[in-house]
Amino acid sequence: MTVPRSLRLGSRSLTLDRPRLMGILNLTPDSFSDGGRFDSIASALAQARRLRDEGADLIDLGGESTRPGAEPVSLAEERRRVLPVLEACLAELDLPISVDTSKPQLMAEAIDLGAAMINDVNAFHAPGAWAAVVDHPQVALVLMHRQGTAQTMQDQPRYEAVSDEVIAFLESRAEDAQAQGIASPRLVFDPGFGFGKTLAHNLQLLHDMPRLVATLGTVLVGLSRKSMFAHLLGERPPEQRVAASVQAALLAVQGGAAILRVHDVAQTREALSLLAAVEGSA
């Protein structure tokens, strides 16, 4: 699989000649890292501006936490959290906006408002999910792998060979997308770090990043502040996992990952600049 050189994001095109940063903006009371911090349109917009100023190439808005044990959120509540902030961001920021949702109705409404990407941690499994996105070729789609639901995923995840299974799952979702009439350049693949994976599974996936990229094409990774770093380095709250997250992001980029979903845009941007400078001096 040749990695596409660019990704269409609404009216824009994002070239993938260098790693791109997706800044995380969670509009939830209970997200594991930034839950409860952006509960008004003004505070969310201020954070979106900050992510942009720090160098985000796009912003991912989420209205439902996916952390292990999180309670599902109703459509009405997720709409209430996400849509006004989406509108405000589209009106004020000159950046593509992604919406992190698994609900087809919210996907459709977000696209109507102008979302450039739909990021679905359930890989468009919900009935009606493909239908919500098929007629919008300008919208990119993130398909993520997971094992189990938010309630069950960290119980005892098991794989024979984690990378092979993640690749096979994502390839089969891509075939499903194509069968529904969705063109493959729209698709972005995510191995789903921490979603039904032990520390060993997460490390194996990071190690196998070149194979994932060679097989799947455009790969997005979400490693930022995840509990795998607490398991590896000792218990610590999410804000003390930044250095490890940045290191892991660099490893993913060296393995060919195209897009990094991060809380800490400024720190990750600096590390990427260093990497680019070193590579440029070769």
Contacts of 273 (CB under 8 A, 6+ apart): none
Closest residue (Cβ) to ligand HH2? Answer: 222
- Minimum distance from residue 192 beta carbon to ligand HH2 (Å): 6
* 3-state DSSP of 102-143: CCHHHHHHHHHHCCCEEEECCCCCCCCHHHHHCCCCCCEEEE
End-to-end CA distance of the chain: 27
**Residue 261 is a binding residue for ligand HH2 (CB under 6 A):** yes
- Minimum distance from residue 199 beta carbon to ligand HH2 (Å): 15
Which position among 52, 197, 261, 269 bears the catalytic label? Answer: 261
3 secondary structure, DSSP code: P
**Residue 119 is a binding residue for ligand HH2 (CB under 6 A):** yes
Place of tokens 């997720």: 78
**Residue 244 is a binding residue for ligand HH2 (CB under 6 A):** no
Binding region for ligand HH2 (CB under 6 A) out of 3-11, 20-28, 110-118, 159-167: 20-28
User: Which pair of tokens denotes residue 225?
Assistant: 């502040």
Give the Cα separation of 49 and 52 in Å (integer): 5
58-62, strands of its sheet edge to edge: 187-190, 140-144, 117-120, 97-100, 58-62, 20-26, 259-262, 220-221
* Residue among 19, 21, 26, 101 that touches ligand HH2 (CB under 6 A): 26
Q: List the beta bridge partners of residue 219.
A: 189
Q: For ligand HH2, which is the closer residue by CB, 64 or 109?
A: 64
Report the b/e string of 185-197 with b at 16+ CB within 10 A.
ebbbbbbbbbbbb
**Residue 57 is a binding residue for ligand HH2 (CB under 6 A):** no
- Minimum distance from residue 50 beta carbon to ligand HH2 (Å): 16
Binding region for ligand HH2 (CB under 6 A) out of 65-73, 108-116, 248-256, 274-282: 65-73
User: Which pair of tokens denotes residue 189?
Assistant: 């693949």
Has 146 been annotated as catalytic?
no
**Residue 63 is a binding residue for ligand HH2 (CB under 6 A):** no
**Residue 62 is a binding residue for ligand HH2 (CB under 6 A):** yes
Has 226 been annotated as catalytic?
yes
* 135 CB-contact burial (10 Å; exposed 0-12 / middle 13-18 / buried 19+): exposed
Q: Is 204 helix (H, G, I), strand (E, B) or coil?
A: helix
- Minimum distance from residue 223 beta carbon to ligand HH2 (Å): 7
**Residue 193 is a binding residue for ligand HH2 (CB under 6 A):** yes
Which position among 226, 236, 241, 269 bears the catalytic label? Answer: 226
**Residue 78 is a binding residue for ligand HH2 (CB under 6 A):** no
**Residue 202 is a binding residue for ligand HH2 (CB under 6 A):** no
Q: Interface with ligand HH2 by CB under 6 A: which residues? A: 24, 26, 28, 31-33, 62, 65-67, 100, 119, 121, 142, 144, 190, 192-193, 220, 222, 261
Enzyme catalytic residues: 226, 261
